[in-house]
Amino acid sequence: MAPGSSCAAWTFRHTVTLVPMNALKIAVSTVTTARLSPALAQSMTLWGGMGTDAYFVPTATLGLSARVGQLGGAQVSVRGTAGLGVLPIPDATGPLTLLAADVLFSGATGPLNAHGGPGVAFVPGVSAVLVGVAGGVQGRFGQGAWGWFAEGKLRYAFSTAGGCGLVLPGADLGVRYRF
């Protein structure tokens, strides 16, 4: 990075390659080749949680996923999420909106269910795109539809106007309700 340049506050100054777009193409092609089943597509899950995005930005999220098929021994789901993050800096003008989509592959690992897969997110009004992966575990509260999840994510953020990118780790902890 050149002296005096900055990637803070979503100011980007270096060229980005199209490598993240290849990851998105792989995710889309994986979903389209999964064996689709109408019975599986009816399984919906509501996700709600608190966590961090971009290292330390506190974020509240709400999402909805639908199981769309089976790929080998893994269930395939598509999840859409909306989040609000609070930038802990004095001149922040309000919450940061985040819209995300993930392709999740999941399977049972004993009493827990492991999940993970690629995703893409957008920050409207800031011209930022984030691509990366999420992965975690989920469990149930008793035998009912309510459960919990813990998830880690690693994203690469870049500006659609060009510039340098940032690697952004994050984590979420929350509850889920399976319909």
Q: Phi and psi dihedrals of 29, rounded to 5?
A: -70, -35
Instruction: Locate 111 and state its tokens.
Output: 């009493």
Give the model's confidence band at 18: pLDDT under 50 very low, under 70 low, under 90 confident, else very high.
Answer: very low
What span, in angstroms and rounded, lies between the C-alpha atoms of 19 and 170? 21
Give the model's confidence band at 110: pLDDT under 50 very low, under 70 low, under 90 confident, else very high.
Answer: confident
Q: Looking at residue 179, what is its pLDDT?
A: 87
Nearest to 106 by CA among 130, 139, 132, 62: 139
What span, in angstroms and rounded, lies between the C-alpha atoms of 155 and 33? 25
pTM, entire model? 0.74
Q: Looking at residue 15, what is its pLDDT?
A: 28
Q: pLDDT: is 9 or 170 the higher one?
A: 170
pLDDT in tens, 33-90: 444 445 544 589 999 999 988 777 899 999 999 999 999 889 999 999 999 998 877 7
Instruction: Report the pLDDT averaged over residues 13-33.
Output: 40
What span, in angstroms and rounded, lies between the C-alpha atoms of 114 and 106? 5
Give the model's confidence band at 164: pLDDT under 50 very low, under 70 low, under 90 confident, else very high.
Answer: confident
44-53 and 166-178 beta bridge pairing: antiparallel
Give the model's confidence band at 153: pLDDT under 50 very low, under 70 low, under 90 confident, else very high.
Answer: very high
Cα 125–chain centre separation: 19
